[in-house]
Amino acid sequence: MLRADVVLRLGALDLSAEVEVADGEVVAVLGPNGAGKSTLLRAVAGLLPLDRGVISVDGEALDAPDAGIFVPTHRRPIGVVFQDHLLFPRLSAVDNVAFGLRARGMRKPDARRVATGWLERVGLADHAGAKPGALSGGQSQRVALARALATEPRVLLLDEPLAALDARTRLHMRAELRRHLATFPGARLLVTHDPIDALVLADRLVVLEAGRVTQEGTTDDVVRHPRSRYVAELVGVNLLHGTAVGDHRVRLAGGAELVVADPVPATDVAVAVRPQAVTIHRDEPEGSARNAWPATVAELEARDDRVRVQLAGPVGTGGGGQAGLVAEVTPAAVAALGLAPGTAVWATVKAVDLAVYER
């Protein structure tokens, strides 16, 4: 169990964040560049001392400025997989993995034998003698993981573990990393700016923005109820701010009103709507969709096999609706509806597709 209550200032960053990771749990700290993710991780690893707060593993304090405790990095039961893997360039793969064991005083032949076992587990037994320069991105990532796990730490930290990989390797390594992480019994804390990494690898998300935790919860919870614009954009959800004007009605900042299926829980609320739930029509629709409004196509953006349509209108993610609502449709629908920037359309959302929650 890792407990990190981190308060520290570093240059322009003012970090004050609390994260707890239970044994067997994977927590992802998700946030934009400069939010303080890596700083948080470095503090946990002991590479940066805290100004205030406490870091403890299984109840044992590692950094507690108030109590005058600071356990240096090399004595912490914490393994780290770094962003660029940082394999020692002059050592072979097996000696990289054996490094931590040697540091603990294990004799060279024994350390090599154990390290070879770890390389086998990540499927690299036949690359034991290879220097890091001769390994592919995916391979060096696996060596880095084996190296961090070989010392059998109680906590595993991963700093943007997949960021150094190209897109194709990344897809493959993400699934593999998930498998390897599952075999590690301790607490796992991973830092990433990539929501997909976070969603695939983590049980729980902690969103860090400008040094503060702005949201935390299960991945499901965060995706369904993003609480900030950043999270909404990140996990691909439209996030609308508004106030309750009835049990099932919300007035948005821009003045438009939405009908929601669930009872509105508070006065200040956020409404999340997935882009797939926004339907686009050329003419004013008739029928059951009570949330309908005229809009203009601002921008079309192809993403994978879908098209994201930015709609300018009274309903939007920014105050006054300047930042458009995003709808996601198929290329066929774009063709059938004749959508192009400037096209006047109608947008509808079913009340049941609007998730409303307290801000």
Partner 1 sequence: MTTRRGAHSQRGRPPRALVLLAALTLTFLLVPFAALLQRAPWSGLIDLLREPVVTEALRLSLISACLATALSLLGGIPLAWMLARTDFPGRSLVRALVVLPMVLPPVVGGAALLFAFGRRGLVGGPVYDGTGFLLPYSLWGVVAANTFVALPFLVVTVEAGLRSADLRYEDAAATLGAGRWMVFRQITLPMILPSVVAGAVLCWARALGEFGATVTFAGNLQGRTQTMPLAVFLALESDREAAIALSLVLVAVSLAVLLPLRDRWLAA
Residues of the shown chain interacting with partner 1 in the complex, contacts defined by CB under 8 A: 42, 45-47, 72-76, 78-80, 82, 84, 86, 88, 90, 99-100, 103-104, 147-148, 151
Helix, strand and coil percent figures for the chain, each rounded to 5: 30, 35, 35
Q: For the CB of residue 178, give the shortest distance to partner 1 in the complex, in Å.
A: 22
Vertex 38, ends 35 and 40: CA angle to 5°? 85
Half-sphere exposure of 352 (CA within 13 A, CB side): 1
**Of residues 42 and 227, the one with the C-beta less far from partner 1:** 42
Q: For the CB of residue 86, give the shortest distance to partner 1 in the complex, in Å.
A: 4
**Of residues 74 and 168, the one with the C-beta less far from partner 1:** 74
Distance of CA 165 to the CA centre of its chain: 17
CA distances to 230, 270, 295, 320 from 251, in Å: 22, 11, 17, 12
**Of residues 60 and 262, the one with the C-beta less far from partner 1:** 60
**Of residues 46 and 254, the one with the C-beta less far from partner 1:** 46
- In 3-state terms, what secondary structure has residue 52? strand
The amino acid at 90: R
CB 241 within 8 A of CB 316: no
Q: For the CB of residue 41, give the shortest distance to partner 1 in the complex, in Å.
A: 10
> What is the Cα–Cα distance from 28 to 85, expressed in whole angstroms?
18
At a CB cut-off of 8 Å and minimum separation 6, what does 170 contact? 162
Angle between helices 93-103 and 137-150 (to 10 degrees): 20
**Of residues 99 and 293, the one with the C-beta less far from partner 1:** 99
> What is the Cα–Cα distance from 128 to 323, expressed in whole angstroms?
53
Q: For the CB of residue 305, give the shortest distance to partner 1 in the complex, in Å.
A: 39
**Of residues 154 and 227, the one with the C-beta less far from partner 1:** 154
> What is the Cα–Cα distance from 347 to 329, expressed in whole angstroms?
12
**Of residues 26 and 115, the one with the C-beta less far from partner 1:** 115
**Of residues 141 and 348, the one with the C-beta less far from partner 1:** 141
> What is the Cα–Cα distance from 197 to 149, expressed in whole angstroms?
20
Q: For the CB of residue 66, give the shortest distance to partner 1 in the complex, in Å.
A: 23
Q: For the CB of residue 248, give the shortest distance to partner 1 in the complex, in Å.
A: 53
> What is the Cα–Cα distance from 330 to 343, expressed in whole angstroms?
17
**Of residues 86 and 333, the one with the C-beta less far from partner 1:** 86
Q: Order of strands across the sheet with 249-252? A: 257-259, 249-252, 238-246, 268-273, 355-358
Q: For the CB of residue 12, give the shortest distance to partner 1 in the complex, in Å.
A: 20
Q: For the CB of residue 123, give the shortest distance to partner 1 in the complex, in Å.
A: 21
Q: For the CB of residue 91, give the shortest distance to partner 1 in the complex, in Å.
A: 9
